[in-house]
Structures are given as structure tokens and as C-alpha cells.
Amino acid sequence: MSCSKKRRDKFEVIVTALTTGSEAWWQSKNGPEWVREQDNYRVTFWWRDPAGTQTTSDVKRVWLYITGVTDHHRNARPQSLERIPDTDVWQWQGAFSPEWRGSYCFIPSVHEHVFADAVFEGEQPERMALREGWQKLLAYAVSDPLNSQSWRGGRGHAVSALEMPEAPVQPGWNRPDTPYKKPVCIEWKSNRLRNRRRVWIFTTGEEGSERPLAVLLDGQFWAESMPVWSALTALTDDGKLPPAVYVLIDVIDTAHRSRELPCNPDFWLAVQEELLPRVKTTASFSDRADRTVVAGQSFGGLASLYAGLNWPQRFGCVLSQSGSYWWPHRGGQRDGLLIEQLRTGDKTARGLRIVLEAGRNEPLIFRANQAIYAELQHTQQPVIWRQVDGGHDALCWRGGLTQGLMTLWQPLIH
């Protein structure tokens, strides 16, 4: 074989490997790809149509739901990937900051038009129409098959992770293989609330009556969708968290969550009068308020601060992430209940230690958190305020959860 023919054959192999949509081309993909462009990264998302090209597939749209970028929290117009003609390749590009972190999913649709016209009319989408459109679509969401970092999100649909190169370290989550004590799962039948639910009791370190206590809301998520056990154990082994008792409370379902978490005194009375005494029969812990953290996200973030302000003698440390302080005024045209109470001088308990965290890409919640932070500063509460380069997203919350626990329990670390 001549040298020229060898070179030509080699060239043809390379061209085949680089042909967009070829098997070799797809094998080279491992999820989104990015390149640095000045101060940001330009990220390309890929989705492979299992039915092939436009001549063999009925797919008309592949909606891209990126938390804090294309979702209803951002009030952004819906985005769809575009098919590269005559291939099974769909793609979308967008700019992301170097520290950005968030989840995303794809929603293939055989329908061209899914959202109401109000979503695309005017300068900004009509918020409720946008929210309703996404709620319908998310039931059909799929994770990125090219991305190994995928899980089932808080709303029940599959999502995948995207983290830019300079995203902050998330304490403990880089040690997923750390061995841990198996949590105990009990059923709590509440007489006050007239319902029953699962509760997970997780312990780290040596047993003792002075171990601090953390109450984690939306417990089913941290127990099943994104298990927190290895991260907490790793941080305890490293001396960054004290030996502790963690109580993870299931929300039962969306209806119960929406009723019990937003400023509901019966829920917190039931926790104190019924649940915690029962937990103590399984794992001993301290009753001191300054050793007790209540932590939550979204409605759970609202509930955490509500618990601290109303029962500071029991819940002395508050970790609130993306707290829904707009409640009960979803449109954000009026201040939420807790903001109004703090402004008028109600519920100004002293001695709380508070960590507030919200994402810059969840505008309504971010503004509400800034507002309550401003009011808390007038009550002489020690408040730590953190801004996250992300959205309303558990992928951000998981790092804030462990970091917040480390911050609030720092005086207990020797």
C-alpha cells in the first residue's frame, strides 16, 4: 500500500470519527461541554434522538429546563434545543458564570406548541402561565443519558448536574463512599396533626446526652433522592462537625407540605411534644437551644426561621436556604408574613444564630431573603447571609446544608 493511500485512509477514519451524529462522535460525549469566553463559559448541551433524524422521529421540541436559567423561578422564556438537520443531534448553547452550579433536564415533545400564548407575548412571560406550562411538562422530563451525575429531583422528575470549574467546594459531598451507620426509619403517628409519616434518625460519632440535634425538613429528599449520610459522616470523621443526632422528617406529599411548612404552629408543637420525645428513646441528644439546628429549603427555609422566632428556647440555630419569604403572596407584590411581623416588632426573639442563603438566579426568593435579612439585622440576631451563584436547586442546597451546619456548630468543635 502506498504512503499516499495510507494517509488518505487515515484521513477518512478521522473524518468519520468527527462527523456530527456518528457513533464515534456520540461516544466522545460525556454530557455538556464548555469553553471559556472572556468572563463566562459557553456551554453546549446535547441530546440524542432515539428515533433518529427528522424524517424518522416525531419529536418537535426538546425543552431544556435549567434551574435558575430557563425555569419559572427565573421568569425566562422557555428554551428548546435545536436539531442539527439530517442528524439525531439536538443542541443548545448558553453562557454561564465560572462559579455556577445547577441541575437540568430534557423534555422531548411531539408537540410544537405546549405553553400558553401569554408565555411568549410581551416583554416578559406571564408568570403563572409559565409555571403551569412547566408543571405539565416536567412529568415527562428525562435526565441526560450522557451525564453520570443524575438523580430524581425534589419535584419527582429526573435531573442531571452541571458544575462550572470554579463552583465552590461542597463540604463532605466529595466523599460519597464514606461508610456510615445505617439510619433508623420510624413511623410517626401524630395525634395533633392527625396523620402519619416516616422519620429517619441518623447518628454520628459516639453516643452521648450532649450531642447536638439537627432537624432536617423535606427529610425524604435527604434520605432517598440525595442521601446525606456519607457527607455528614465524612465531616464528622474529619472533625468539621461534632458527633450529632439528625432527624429527617418526611413531608408525606405536596398537599401536606404546603399546609404544614408555611408558618404552621401545630406542626412545630407536634414536633416538640410528640416527635422529639420519641426520638430520644432511640438516640439521646441535648435539649439546649444553642445546640439545636432546624434546617430547611424553600417552604422548609421559611418554616425553619418561623420555628426559631416562635420557639427560640428550643430551636436556637436556624439554617434557611432559599426560604419562601414571599408567603403567602406568591406574586411578590407584597411582603410576606414573617417580613411584616419582623417589621412591626412581632416575633423578635433574641439569641438566635441564623444562616440565610439564597441563589442569585431565583429573583423573587432572592429579593424576599434580602428583605428579611434587612429586618433581622434590626433585631440584634447574629445573621450570616450567603449568596449562591445558582437557582432554586438541591444541587446548590446540599453544599449549603453541610456548610451551614459547620458554621452553626462551630463553637462545639474542639
Cα–Cα distance, 285 to 291 (Å, whole number): 9
Residues in the chain with pLDDT < 70? Answer: 1-17, 154-155, 332, 346-349, 414
Q: Are residues 255 and 400 in the same domain?
A: yes
Are both 282 and 362 inside the same structural domain?
Answer: yes
pLDDT score recorded for residue 10: 44
Flag whether 232 is in a domain. yes
Q: Same domain for 151 and 189? A: no
324 is a domain residue: yes
Query: Which secondary structure element, helix H or strand E, spans residue 398, and what is its range?
Result: helix 394-408
Residues 138 and 239 both lie in one domain: no
The answer to whether residue 108 sits within a structural domain is yes
**Residue 401, pLDDT score:** 98
Q: What is the CATH number of the domain that holds 395?
A: 3.40.50.1820
Domain membership of residue 278 as a residue range: 184-412
Give Cβ neighbours of residue 113 (< 8 Å, ≥ 6 apart): none
Q: Structure pTM?
A: 0.90
pLDDT in tens, 380-408: 778 999 999 999 999 999 999 999 999 99
The pLDDT of residue 330 is 78
Predicted confidence at residue 414, as pLDDT, reads 66
In a domain, 1, yes or no: no
Please check whether residue 169 lies inside any domain of the structure: no
Establish how many alpha carbons lie within 13 A of residue 133's alpha carbon, considering only the half-sphere containing its beta carbon.
29
Angular region, 137: left φ>0, alpha ψ -120 to 50, beta rest: alpha
Domain count, the chain: 2
Report the distance separating Cα 195 and Cα 176, nearest Å: 34
Shared domain for 43 and 109, answered yes or no, is yes
Tell me: do 192 and 128 sit in the same domain.
no
Tell whether 225 and 111 lie within a shared domain.
Answer: no
- Indicate whether 152 belongs to any domain: yes
Task: Let me know if residue 218 belongs to a domain.
Answer: yes
**Rounded CA separation 214/291 (Å):** 8
Same domain, 397 and 259: yes
- Are 142 and 290 in a shared domain? no
**CATH of residue 110:** 2.60.40.10
Which of 313, 368, 307 is closest to 335 using CA atoms?
368
Among 133, 163, 193, residue at a domain's last position:
163
Residue 27 within a domain: yes
